[in-house]
Amino acid sequence: MRLIVWVIALVCALPAAAYAQAAPAPVPAGAAPAQPAQPAAANPHAANPHAAPQRPQDRSAPAADLPPGSVEATIHDASGAPQAGLEVRLGILFETVAEGQSRDSKTARTDAEGRVRFDGLKFGSSHSYRVTLKYADAQYGSMPFNLREDSGQRVLLHVYPSSSEFSKVAVRMQGFLYIAPRDDLFQFEVLYRVFNLGDVTWLPRNVVITLPKDFKAFRAEEGMTDAKFEVVEGRGAKLSGTFPPGQTQLSFRFQAPKGSDDTMAFDVDLPKGVAEMRVIAEANPTMTLQVDGFESTQSDVAQNGTRVLVTRKLVQRKDEDVGGFTAVITGLPQPGLGRWFAVAIAFVLAGIGLASARGLFDKGSDTGGGADEDREHARTLILDQLVALERSRQAEAIGPRAYQRAHQELLDALARLSSNGSAERKKKTKKRSAKRPAEASPTRASGLSRSSGKP
């Protein structure tokens, strides 16, 4: 989701005056240049004045005291007590360009110290490993890792009690909705950060984000955990999986049809726990974005020169949520012009094909008049369409995709026209060459007759 990463970097780099009360979201390394420090601010995701409690951290690192080809996993609870008798799975992924991909696994139960060990494993970049286990309906796991030649790997995982009742967990969410208008549709990209600030793992049940009507082409990004979004046809995106204490990030994308009006409204219904929502839209100079209940829309320019509009809503109370909202975009370019260009191109190409099929370009082949005039007329029509297309693109009356498609079709038509003309000229030259010997042969024949004395 490179686009979403860029969006987060962009909205967090807006002037401090625009969002003076919010701390910027963390930006992955290399996603954008470092920004000046912002003033101290409220927690943007938790709406909780208290800091998140300190909790033990999971770990996974090479261990020189373990023999090469070994993985040792230890399972503790939140208090650090070892968990005995749990089944631990070691997932094994083998992947090379030559041999493709294959999967395998090994299982073992933890001893009294909450420890399991797997030996005789292969090291190198072609073999990846991941430790997972199921505990009280929740799934926990380490990040994938490779084994080194000179050491083993030691993994520490923690398990927690779990609940599907939202009132029993301390979960807050931060969402990003990115809208990109295209020629005949809207492309949406959505990213959510789920912050579990308590010591109870959240197992969401029937948590659905209602999406705009007639959404299609839903695709959820795959992560390293079982937390994910799943499509609910005709309704939206369902949140599922395990959300242990800490932060989990997941995303999805979808499309929605674009009508012929210059104004479109999108309804989005959010579940409980969303404490901040940002809406970002790509925009031409005439477009506007308005979301009722959100802050005033801010305008900025991306590094590639694209204008974007940004707005957000942030709640401060623990018992408040962003809830549903309607995003209204005005000043959208009309899609009809690109279609008219397609129709015009189709008529031009059809006329050229019909003329060629009827042999109109072959008429007057000896004089070169009729065919050349018809061809020149067709060429003029295509050039006129190219000029009109360029003017419409400069006026932003046609989208980039429709422009590229129409431009390429016109150039192809012009090339075919020139190619047909060259082929016909070669054909005429060949015919003239073939006629000359035939016209000269009676003379040569009569000469031979006279010399031989035969009638």
- Per-residue model confidence as pLDDT tens digits over 21-30: 333 333 333 3
Distance CA 413, CA 401 (A): 18
pLDDT at residue 220 greater than cutoff 60: yes
The reported pLDDT for the residue numbered 190 is 96
Q: How far is CA 263 from CA 164, 259, 294, in A?
A: 40, 9, 19
User: Which pLDDT score is estimated for 455?
Assistant: 41
373 against 179, higher pLDDT: 179
Specify burial of residue 127 (Cβ count, 10 A radius: 0-12, 13-18, 19+): middle
Amino acid residing at 129:
Y
Of 377, 394, 212, nearest in space to 285 by CA: 394
Residue 186 above 70 pLDDT? yes
Whole-number Å distance between alpha carbons of 258 and 186 = 6
CA–CA dist 137, 242 (Å, integer): 9
pLDDT digits (tens, 9 = 90+) for 376-431: 777 887 888 888 888 877 766 666 767 777 788 888 887 877 776 565 566 666 65
**Half-sphere exposure of residue 79: CA atoms within 13 angstroms, side-chain side:** 4
Q: Which of 362, 182, 342 is nearest to 258 (CA)?
A: 182
**What is the value of pTM for the model shown?**
0.65
Mean pLDDT of the chain: 79
> Which residues lie closer than 8 Å to 274 by C-beta, 6 or more apart?
172, 173, 174, 175, 321, 322, 323
**Angle, in degrees to the nearest 10, between helices 370-394 and 336-357:** 170
User: Are the C-beta atoms of 183 and 189 separated by less than 8 Å?
Assistant: no
Q: How far apart are CA 212 and CA 429, in angstroms?
A: 64
Question: What average pLDDT does range 79-86 have in this prediction?
Answer: 96
Q: What is the mean pLDDT of residues 113-119?
A: 98
Q: Averaged over 168-174, what is the pLDDT?
A: 95
Is residue 281 within 8 A of residue 309, CB to CB? The reply is yes
Q: How far is CA 385 from CA 326, 336, 356, 409, in A?
A: 40, 16, 21, 11
Question: Which residues is 300 bridged to in the sheet?
Answer: 308
pLDDT of residue 162: 96
Beta bridge partners of 422: none
C-alpha to C-alpha distance for 56 and 244, rounded to whole angstroms? 12
If one compares 307 and 224, the residue with the highest pLDDT of the two is 307
Q: Name the packing angle between helices 400-452 and 336-357 (round to 10°).
A: 10
pLDDT value of residue 16: 32
